[in-house]
Amino acid sequence: MIRPNAPAGKTPDIFRSSRSGHARDHLAYFVFLKRTRISLLLLGAIFLLGLSACQRDQEQSAQLFVFGTIVELKLWGASQEDAGNAFAEIQQMFQGMHRDWHAWEPGRLTEINRAFTEGRTATADADIVEMVRQSQLLESQTGGRFNAAIGGLIRLWGFHTSDYPIEGPPPTRAQISEILALNPTSHDIRIDGLEMSSGNPAVQLDFGGIAKGYAVDLTIARLRELGIDNAIVNAGGDLRAIGTHGDRPWRVAVRQPGGGNIGSIQVRGDESIFTSGNYERFRQDQLERYPHILDPVTGWPAKDIASVTIIAADGITADAAATAMVVAGLDGWPEVARALKLEQVAVVDESGTVFLTPAMEQRIEFSEDVDTVIVKLQ
Ligand code: ADP
Ligand code: MG
């Protein structure tokens, strides 16, 4: 899916430029590409480049509206030309991921899901095959709390939409039981090269829990191939960073339930920091809120964790782990952390108390007073 360099000069019409307040002149291009309706997976699209002058000792940034969020790319130490080429290429990568991975807009993934329903073999691409393999592994490691095959349940709950909150009552118990009885799991998927089939027609892939993670992993890998060793790819607070910001580390904000930031973290080399929560995307009726992360065992939303933030070596693990720990809940998240060998975890409950592993306590600098509880994983 990685395409050859698109020169920065080929980006579409620049319709506005502005100067930032930065000491060095920054020229910001607001480039309008295309506007589509979006979702967890993707992209309308405003691409915004903040290309600086020619020196390498400064930050170059670009923003892309993608995966229902703003993806911000920041580079340090790249020439203006290299940064422009990288931004243009990454923008194309994201457009391809949108097209191919979307859970309900017609595309490659919806074709694969239709083939599963009809008992046919489908042709995937290398990225989707890799996400399925990773999903199988992560489903095993999280004891089934992460399950990328429950797209049927997610659709039943109405979460295949970009318009939140969703108004109205939950599905009926009978509708939920009907899907649970068929026990969809990623292990039902057989992979043969790029061909995939499912012995179980109830298997419907939904990569909402790992798409951002895998996207930032692919982006960082491509940046490295392009010779860029200092970068941050931040998808609405979920991010992977490499290298440094000149002579200081990258510093990133940690999201907090209900908006705003709970604190910040200084990134050490190559790290991924992901947050999942129950407070942004949900259905609601007069009685209750029903958040978008579902427990694959009960078919109902997971509720008692407001948010979980994880630092891991790669984006796909951090993303899946965050989703799985929300499912595991306040009692179960340490078990998932141990199974995935993740030592840096922060969990916020509905009352705002923060449960921290000792290793995470060393990393977060809280921006305000919070009640904390240290949780040892051993
Ligand atoms: P966010 O960053 O928006 O909190 P997550 O990374 O937690 O999102 O992923 C939530 C998305 O993952 C849902 O919108 C849905 O597409 C999918 N999902 C929901 N429950 C599960 C689950 N138990 N396992 C795998 N994917 C899930
Ligand atoms: Mg996730």
Q: Which tens digit of pLDDT belongs to each residue from 332-342?
A: 999 999 999 99
Predicted confidence at residue 9, as pLDDT, reads: 33
Q: Regarding beta strands 282-284 and 289-291, do their DSSP bridges make them parallel or antiparallel, or are they unpaired?
A: antiparallel
Percent residues over pLDDT 90 in the chain: 77
Predicted confidence at residue 271, as pLDDT, reads: 98
Confidence of residue 56 (pLDDT cuts 50, 70, 90): low
154-169 pLDDT, tens digit each: 999 999 998 889 999 9
Predicted confidence at residue 48, as pLDDT, reads: 54
The single residue listed with the structure tokens 């074709």 is 111
> DSSP letters of 151-219?
HHHHHHTT-S-S--SEESPPPPHHHHHHHHTT---GGGEEEETTEEEES-TT-B---TTTHHHHHHHHH
Q: Does residue 183 surpass a pLDDT of 50?
A: yes
Tell me the pTM. 0.87
Annotated domain spans of the chain: 8-103+220-233, 249-378
Predicted confidence at residue 4, as pLDDT, reads: 30
Query: What's the sign of the alpha-carbon dihedral 152, 119, 131, 180?
Result: positive
Q: What is the CATH number of domain 249-378?
A: 3.10.520.10
What's the mean pLDDT in 89-109? 95
Query: Lowest mean pLDDT: which of 8-17, 48-57, 69-78, 147-156?
Result: 8-17
Predicted confidence at residue 19, as pLDDT, reads: 22
| Ligand 1 center to 205 CA (angstroms) | 12
Neighbours of 14 (CB within 10 A): 13
Average pLDDT, rounded, for the chain: 86
Q: What is the DSSP letter of 10?
A: G
| Ligand 2 center to 322 CA (angstroms) | 5
Predicted confidence at residue 199, as pLDDT, reads: 93
| Ligand 2 center to 117 CA (angstroms) | 25
What's the mean pLDDT in 215-243? 97
Rounded Cα distance, 83 and 226, in Å: 10
For residue 197, the cross-strand partners are 190
100-127 pLDDT, tens digit each: 999 999 999 999 999 999 999 999 999 9
Q: What is the DSSP letter of 294?
A: B
- Which residues are near ligand 1 (CB < 6 Å)? 40, 145-148, 150, 154, 159, 206, 208-209, 276-277, 281, 292-294, 296, 319, 322-323, 327
